[in-house]
Structure 1
Amino acid sequence: MSKILKVENLNKTYRSGNHDLTVLKDVSFEIAEGETFAIVGPSGSGKTTLLGLCAGLDVSQSGNIWLCGQNLTSMTEDERALLRNRHVGFVFQDFQLLPTLTALENVVVPFELQGAGRSSLERGKELLKKVGLGDRFHHYPSQLSGGEQQRVALARAFSNRPSILFADEPTGNLDGETGAKIEQLLFELNKELGTALVIVTHDLELAQKTNRSLRLRSGSMEQMAL
């Protein structure tokens, strides 16, 4: 099975006052197509930073990241954005829905960026139905519960049929019952569409449901659990 993501000797440092703060130290791992993978660790361990680097949202000081066969390190910001638009889905902990757009309009935003036509509306409706929001097409985020907003965000993340989906604490702002439903949807869509799934989470029970997990502590790899 080919690799959808390969991270090699990754380092990330931020400037804090007169000092350099190292957030990631020599992190390396690989993820195969269709695989489910968790990144776990305490707050401040570098999990979200690592996720952003892997998705091409940020750049590292050293090391390499190959995403869908392309080296993010050698790409421009515009090239990384184009790669994300074509191959990457991202689910944020705080949903990041556009408040002036309906649920359906939020889901079809990626299609609009690709210049898709009317078929995008049908695809958006199909995805909202898959996540149980077939009766919420025309509701705005303010009219939806937290769980419903996360479902919209999940439908949007899968709208471009991504090769890989990154989810940053996708159940972190939800109650236990709602979070469990979101977890189930993530794995169902992963299986149905063959999308590789990378989850940052504090929830060890959720991490144990993935094929493999990477544990970070103070920016360093602590262990790889098979």
Structure 2
Amino acid sequence: MSDILVVENLKKSFTTGDKTLTVLDDVSFSVPEGASISIVGPSGSGKTTLLGLCAGLDVSTGGSVSLVGIKLNALSEDDRAYVRNQYVGFIFQNFQLLPTLTALENVTVPLELRGEKQYKKKALDLLDRVGLSDRAYHYPSQLSGGEQQRVAMARAFISSPKILFADEPTGNLDEETANRVTELLFDINRSEGTTLVLVTHNLDLAAHTERILQLKGGKLISDQKSMRAV
């Protein structure tokens, strides 16, 4: 099984005035196609920064990221956007739904950006899978937090991504809703065969993945199989 994500000696620093802040320092790991991993660590450990670099949302100060065999560091911003559109799905903590679009329209956005035409049936099928077939024509303001996150989940899977990046996907949800979203996320991810990279401070959520990477102070201090994968 080939690696879909390869991170080598990754470094990210920010300079303000005469001070340099190193957020990530010499981080290396790889993720096989179809695997699931969690990135955990305290606030400020570099988790979200690492996710953004892996997904091509930002570029590193040093080291490299290869995604689906493509070296992201060498690409322009437009080329990185193209790679994301073709291969990547996202789920964020704050849902990031477009408020002027219905649930159905939010789900179809990635395929519209690709120029695909036959997307309505697939979007409705995905909304049905996340239990929202009766909410397809509601706007985000008419949906609960859990419902908005399930719309975001359907949107993430609509383009059949090779890899899904999820940043604290249950962070804004109550425990019961978070458990339902977690179950749906892993069920759909498993059935689609998508690679999953999950950032979370929730160790119970992290335990659902096959492998857990722990960051501290911008360094990768642990890379272990989760107890469920042993």
TM-score range, shorter chain: over 0.9
SS in 1 for 2:23: strand
CA distance in 2: counterparts of 1:200 and 1:35, whole angstroms: 14
* Cα RMSD (Å): 0.7
Give the Å deviation of 1:16.
3.0
| Counterpart contact for 1:101–1:140, Cα < 8 Å | yes
CA distance in 2: counterparts of 1:16 and 1:166, whole angstroms: 29
> What residue is the counterpart of 2:84 in the other structure?
84
> What residue is the counterpart of 2:112 in the other structure?
112
| TM-score, length basis structure 2 | 0.96
C-alpha distance after superposition, 1:44-81 (max 9, x if no partner): 00000000000000000110101001000111111110
SS in 1 for 2:134: coil
CA distance in 2: counterparts of 1:43 and 1:33, whole angstroms: 28
Structure 1 segment 1-226 matched on structure 2, within 5 A: 1-117=1-117, 119-226=118-225
SS in 1 for 2:220: strand
Give the Å deviation of 1:207.
1.0
Give the Å deviation of 1:205.
1.2
Segments of 5+ residues of structure 2 without an aligned counterpart are: 226-230
CA distance in 2: counterparts of 1:174 and 1:3, whole angstroms: 32
| TM-score, length basis structure 1 | 0.98
Give the Å deviation of 1:223.
0.9
Segments of 5+ residues of structure 1 without an aligned counterpart are: none
| Counterpart contact for 1:34–1:190, Cα < 8 Å | no
CA distance in 2: counterparts of 1:32 and 1:190, whole angstroms: 15
CA distance in 1: counterparts of 2:4 and 2:174, whole angstroms: 32
> What residue is the counterpart of 2:228 in the other structure?
none
Give the Å deviation of 1:190.
1.3
Alignment: residue pair count: 225
CA distance in 1: counterparts of 2:18 and 2:78, whole angstroms: 31
| Counterpart contact for 1:8–1:29, Cα < 8 Å | yes
C-alpha distance after superposition, 1:188-208 (max 9, x if no partner): 111100000111001111111
Percent identity, please.
60
C-alpha distance after superposition, 1:72-126 (max 9, x if no partner): 0111111110110010001110000000000000000011101111x21111111
SS in 2 for 1:4: strand
Give the Å deviation of 1:17.
3.8
